[in-house]
Structure 1
């Protein structure tokens, strides 16, 4: 199979779909790889490093999209990239379709086979291709939130860890999954006053066992969430409904009752965000203020630490990429029901139920397409 890797064009997106090491693995399985020139510059991987690994270098993305049987990316294709997709071409990347009707429509119209990293599962129901970026984003949420709390950035002027004789900042993490766990770890490491809210008894027990007295673990109700958010200096939104739009857990009215200069970091912004006042931002212009509260809603947070993120992502995606290349998309999905969960759009059909429901498309079963 001929596999193409274009350079990412989203604002300040420095990750790349394949590392040179991953290219060498695919070439070792008998496949051809075509990578756009300078696609790996953001992780310090030169064109010569890719050539040495067995890839051919394309002059531009047009050549990649025109020739590749499978396109491997990191972020969802922008409109200019979606226009280059063709019927039957495989797209393997993050998509986050539920809050993005325009992208969904373009992918349906393209006839391409679109497999989303974020909905591929494992045999325990986890999300192994989303997990590494959730780990990165969770940890970055505290770094970014701490910076936004600085007075020069519009924040309260609070140091999360405090100093002797001065109380630490109060951090509230909404959601105790992968993002929330990693955010809490970072906040605890800074010696902040940390509270984690979740509704899953299993998650609450796991968090309590891990953090002990280092963080407060509380069952999330409307009343407890409201109370904790009002008193917080930094709130991290870390909720996830796989493949679906994130629930709006914090209303504009509640935002207005927060401290002036408090900060919210919406890690769920890729799926529409969990604060009613959220809107996607970029690394160029990461924050805005609503009701006196600083909002950090960068939709590709891990792109800022591209080298760490790319290698962590490739560790998870490469085995699936090899399977698709070796077996073809139908064979790979038939062989692995967990990978089949990643199919969101194929041949003009929406195949992921949550996306179909959210955007009012008929839902087509994957099994009907792969036989």
Structure 2
């Protein structure tokens, strides 16, 4: 404020940058139509950031119910609520979580820009062909990188997966879920739960930290000695780490109560698959959690149950499904006495995953990507 005379003030106007109409983007956020998927691409807070910058955001009615956001939350953030998916898919930019189904691609306009995960092993071939025919530009969340070549969205998701895996393991080991009835952790006078983590990346590091905090005995395996050195420096020299020595790995599986598969298979040359024999030597009631089921999985294909994801159906062999009372959305099943947990994509913390992804990292990364795409047109 400017001072005019002694003790007198008058308001001073401030110039605010106005978005140019030509730079406005029409962004659509549809419902996910794959059974069990509750996540949504953006929370109302992230939508508010986009609308404040002059963009139009279309949200399909009821899209946010899976993460406990009503249509009113999105409308108050500046979004326009539309009744049908066809209206949403007429937007220039589509923000999704899962790769599109063929029916969804057919509703898109030519030259639409799509943001979603890729998941090549589950991507519908028909949808891929339709996208090529319509010349749709696809941008993968897990491949988005910042100026320092880091993948912020993928890192955030991996950290949440690592923490959630320990929470889920603790739940499934309890009597209430038909487990062994043991506590994930350790108390004085009782042998601690043994956890094996395959992969020393972000997800593996966070899972190891959470398990150690509960008092569990943790062993970490990876083929990258630098990752093993880093995780040991971060979590302490007392942490057991090893490369993939067959005898050492077999001994670890034989005594493990929980095995967590956290190897990252994105942009990697080598792929490691845990053989069926390794699962057979595990204790009865032991738990296996595969965090990489959407990247092809860490375990043999013949261990996978029928998936509810489009384009990814495999035959069950020598696998007995859990009784009806234990058939949660988690996708758990028994294999020779060991319980497998292979829930695709979403752990039951959909809102947390959406919030962590878009409130901190995703808006900035997406805005840079949208700016590049806009300038290219």
Query: In 1, Cα distance between the equivalents of 2:78 and 2:361?
Result: 21
Aligned to 2:108: 85
Aligned with 2:179: secondary structure?
coil
Task: Note the alpha carbon deviations across 1:163-206, whole angstroms, 9 max, x for none.
Answer: 33221110000001011011111111211111111222221121
Aligned with 2:218: secondary structure?
strand
Contact kept, 8 Å, 2:169 with 2:184, in 1: the verdict is no
Q: TM-score, normalised by structure 1?
A: 0.81
**Selected match of 2:245 from 197, 211, 221:** 221
Q: What is the aligned-residue RMSD (CA, Å)?
A: 2.5
Task: Note the alpha carbon deviations across 1:243-287, whole angstroms, 9 max, x for none.
Answer: 569834211111111112111000000101001123475762520
CA spacing shift, 1:95–1:279, aligned 2, 3 Å: farther
- TM superposition shift of 1:118: 1.0
Within the alignment, does 1:137 sit opposite 2:181 as a pair? no
Q: TM-score, normalised by structure 2?
A: 0.80
Task: Note the alpha carbon deviations across 1:35-61, whole angstroms, 9 max, x for none.
Answer: 111222233333223222221111121
Aligned to 2:61: 37
Aligned with 2:236: secondary structure?
helix
Aligned to 1:301: 346
**Selected match of 2:356 from 309, 312, 318:** 312
Query: In 2, Cα distance between the equivalents of 1:117 and 1:329?
Result: 18
Matches within 5 A, 1:251-330: 251-276=275-300, 277-279=303-305, 284-302=329-347, 304-314=348-358, 315-328=360-373
Contact kept, 8 Å, 2:187 with 2:215, in 1: the verdict is no
- TM superposition shift of 1:322: 2.0
CA spacing shift, 1:54–1:153, aligned 2, 3 Å: closer
Query: In 1, Cα distance between the equivalents of 2:71 and 2:43?
Result: 11
Query: In 2, Cα distance between the equivalents of 1:97 and 1:246?
Result: 16
Query: In 2, Cα distance between the equivalents of 1:151 and 1:294?
Result: 14
Aligned with 2:219: secondary structure?
strand
CA spacing shift, 1:234–1:62, aligned 2, 3 Å: same
Query: In 2, Cα distance between the equivalents of 1:246 and 1:272?
Result: 13
Aligned to 1:340: none
Contact kept, 8 Å, 1:239 with 1:246, in 2: the verdict is no
Aligned to 2:316: none
Aligned residue pair count: 330
CA spacing shift, 1:63–1:184, aligned 2, 3 Å: same
Task: Note the alpha carbon deviations across 1:67-97, whole angstroms, 9 max, x for none.
Answer: 2001001222234323323431111011211
Higher helix share: 1
Query: In 2, Cα distance between the equivalents of 1:261 and 1:326?
Result: 51
- TM superposition shift of 1:27: 1.9
Structure 2 gap ranges (5+)? 1-24, 309-327
The structure having more radius of gyration, on CA atoms, is 2
Matches within 5 A, 1:1-371: 1-65=25-89, 67-100=90-123, 102=125, 104-151=128-175, 153-212=177-236, 215-243=239-267, 247-276=271-300, 277-279=303-305, 284-302=329-347, 304-314=348-358, 315-328=360-373, 331=376
Larger RCO, structure (CA 8 Å, separation 6 or more): 1
Structure 1 gap ranges (5+)? 332-369
Query: In 2, Cα distance between the equivalents of 1:224 and 1:107?
Result: 46
Task: Note the alpha carbon deviations across 1:123-169, whole angstroms, 9 max, x for none.
Answer: 44432211111111111111112222235545333322143322111
Aligned with 1:132: secondary structure?
helix
Aligned with 1:181: secondary structure?
helix
Query: In 2, Cα distance between the equivalents of 1:104 and 1:221?
Result: 39
Contact kept, 8 Å, 2:273 with 2:299, in 1: the verdict is yes
Query: In 2, Cα distance between the equivalents of 1:247 and 1:284?
Result: 28
Aligned with 1:144: secondary structure?
helix
- TM superposition shift of 1:211: 1.5
